[in-house]
Structure 1
């Protein structure tokens, strides 16, 4: 039987809550009692708005998948459309996760791992693992996507909802980043394949970081959060009034079709992101 109770990790005055029963997402990130993420309490119906809070893992694909279709060699697959007219953000966030490694002390903090077995509507047996490593200064998350039998194309990434303001009368978050280019977005919200110079926001756009994602969010003099990843892409979404998303991912939106990464039984896909903070 799966244990769906929240899992709490703490190191110094940093605390995170993992939600195995809500797509294996990070439900909360508190620093000294200050919440950095939009939480389930901030949305009207968290069960009906699985995309809209915390920080959820995207696997076995990230972002929008055109019309929910992809090929694996000569085989064509159709997935349900949950961000019409596309399928979005993978199936792992709608599935249940189990605690693979209970919270355990490390030399610097604490760690824990969650596991999800890929199942319908994803057509291939597989496994997604998340390792969370928390210290007083940073949170490091690693996602691994494994094929258990047949090889398949895959992507992985993260979709965090950071609060634009940490308190009602506080400064609004500012994003500092320097991507190599921006993927032109078509009318269908998918990359057209054309590279353009990075444009000012508002954004619902994909940016390229060939040497790995690096971005910093600052809330005035109160807090700076540095986001790094070995992923070469990030989507930035800031259209909503109270939150913004900086989403490292291993491939661009629709990447299962345009830039597939093949996962085999002996070659998993593994990506890592680190969030480190500095307080004023």
Structure 2
């Protein structure tokens, strides 16, 4: 199982490097089902794995001039604030035992709730990956100021999801960068990696004092993800990541449904 977990970590990195998101949605399931990490701790580990691998991948895009730091700030600051509030105030509100049905001897724990939320996120992200991408219309209906405000609002939503379940949120970031801020696709991928890196690492280090980190697990998985994202960033010049999205979307959909069935019925 550990070997499968490390191999999956490389795959996660490659996807992040190719399409600027999506791969991180697999991090928590890999940690939980292949490496035996409990769900709450997996969300914390995921922040570091996604953050450090995205940081490594962003260097390649930065050297090619494919990172827009102004856009990263517009999107990133609301995300960071939202992550901090979610990790420190929302997550602690979820009790270890959410509810129990005595007649059915069913107990729904915090871990199950987090995995179900994560599975729901996977289903939503799969839809966004499967559906045909629509190029932004050149004649904008909204003003640039309104688009900036909408992008900042999207950043808040991404931050909440990142803080809650440890996903990078690239599947939400890239459509916002392309559709609202009119960022070219390649630049959107590079900028997305910067935003994901900053969000995830700040989220990780802001709550590290509340969990016990097993670096013997986290270190090797992170290293494999970094190797993967370096490979993915190099392949991005030769492979059109957008063409991979629908196939990966179907895979994510199956995984999300599997998690829901496993946690509710098995």
TM-score by length of 1: 0.24
Q: Which has the higher contact order (CA 8 A, sep 6+)?
A: 2
TM-score by length of 2: 0.25
Q: Which has the higher strand share?
A: 1
Q: Which has the higher helix share?
A: 2
